[in-house]
Amino acid sequence: MNKKFKFVLDRTTNVQHGNKTFYKHLYNTSKIIQQYFPNEQYLIDAGLYHAIYGTYYFKFDSNTNREDVKKIIGDRAEELVYFYSNLENRIDQILEHKFDFNLQKDLYIIEYANLLDQIIELNAEQFEYFKEIKKRLYSHYNINMSTNFYKDQLFVYDDKLTRAELNHLHRYCIQSKYKFEHTSDPLFPSRDLRFTCHLSARELEESGVLPSVQKIVNNLNQTLYLYDFYINHYPQTSYVNRHIDAAFPGCLTIIIFCNKYWDETWGGELKIYEENSTVHKVVDFIPGRIVVFDSQIEHKVLPLTPFAQADRFTLAIKAFNDPENVDKMDRSSMIEIKCM
């Protein structure tokens, strides 16, 4: 293990910070900074050490000597950490925007990363601070810390679920208890239907899909906040009419195709509508396939044909990629998947 990390880990063992270990919080904060500023090593290091002396809000005494820290991360990073740690009513002081141009920028960045790592735990006031810091970074420094990169995008993955995971997931779908749900096609109400089974966070974990979701998060290089998860059961000839999953930006839909076997003649494809186009995309229903798309994109599940010899099962996960949306939902049932 790198000396910088080991030094922090040795001094924070068994210390808890919110819903995670203190070390994990320090580590995450530096990773967030690294994503935006891969070449600013002093900032990345300051993120990792930002609370090593304790802070105004988080009392912690590691008996850490400043000179030892300087030897590891250098004077510039250490001095920034020391200044940050000793700010009384820190967030208020930072928001007063009264420090030197560059110091002010560094404080905003560390505070932004620090709050982003705790986004699910923030209270309403802290949430406002978080949004304000992001605005200031853009207006004063032209730094865009936006995390919503996925407007109008569609991703198709065929390599994220193992065969064993798919077998388990398929069994999980078969054993679930469904409710009947009509959707929205007035012309064919008897066919625009499906059966759904909403899952709790624990049940989603039991379905065994979280390792695959983690792989996708790593691919997207962006933390996702999962806020709604359910299994869909489509019997023969059923479909779901053209619709969108979310009306506001910064949301992704993840659809996992849960059948173990499927023939092309059985239908059940996912049709993705291209805005302002007469030609659209049709994604084949391939066992184990995972489709991820911006929830604002219109889509439809095409009908199962009379040839279909199995019902169609999918697991749908709705997620935010823009952390500002976390404010809009019940955070107690949310699952955060950080990119690693």
Segments of the chain assigned E as strands: 16-17, 20-21, 154-157, 179-182, 193-198, 224-234, 240-243, 251-257, 270-272, 281-283, 290-294, 299-301, 312-320, 335-337
The nearest distance, CB 13 to Fe ion, in angstroms, is: 45
Q: What is the DSSP letter of 270?
A: E
Based on CB atoms, which residue is closest to Fe ion, 53 or 234?
234
**x-marked contacts with Fe ion along 212-251 as a string, rule CB under 5 A:** ---------------------------------x------
Let me know: does 44 contact 36? Beta carbons within 8 Å.
Answer: no
Spatial distance between the Cα atoms of 313 and 231, rounded to a whole number of angstroms: 7
The nearest distance, CB 299 to Fe ion, in angstroms, is: 6
Based on CB atoms, which residue is closest to Fe ion, 128 or 181?
181
Let me know: does 160 contact 204? Beta carbons within 8 Å.
Answer: no
How many residues bind Fe ion (CB under 5 A)? The answer is: 1
Does 192 interact with Fe ion (rule: CB under 5 A)? no
Residue 287 backbone zone (phi > 0: left; psi -120 to 50: alpha; other: beta): beta
13-52 positions binding Fe ion, by CB under 5 A = none
The nearest distance, CB 164 to Fe ion, in angstroms, is: 28
* Closest C-alpha among 323, 298, 294 to residue 150: 294
The nearest distance, CB 244 to Fe ion, in angstroms, is: 7
Based on CB atoms, which residue is closest to Fe ion, 32 or 301?
301
Based on CB atoms, which residue is closest to Fe ion, 192 or 245?
245
The nearest distance, CB 219 to Fe ion, in angstroms, is: 22
Based on CB atoms, which residue is closest to Fe ion, 245 or 336?
245
| Tokens representing residue 267 in the block | 């239908």
The nearest distance, CB 154 to Fe ion, in angstroms, is: 13
Does 294 interact with Fe ion (rule: CB under 5 A)? no
Spatial distance between the Cα atoms of 41 and 34, rounded to a whole number of angstroms: 8
Based on CB atoms, which residue is closest to Fe ion, 45 or 228?
228
* Residues binding Fe ion (CB under 5 A): 245
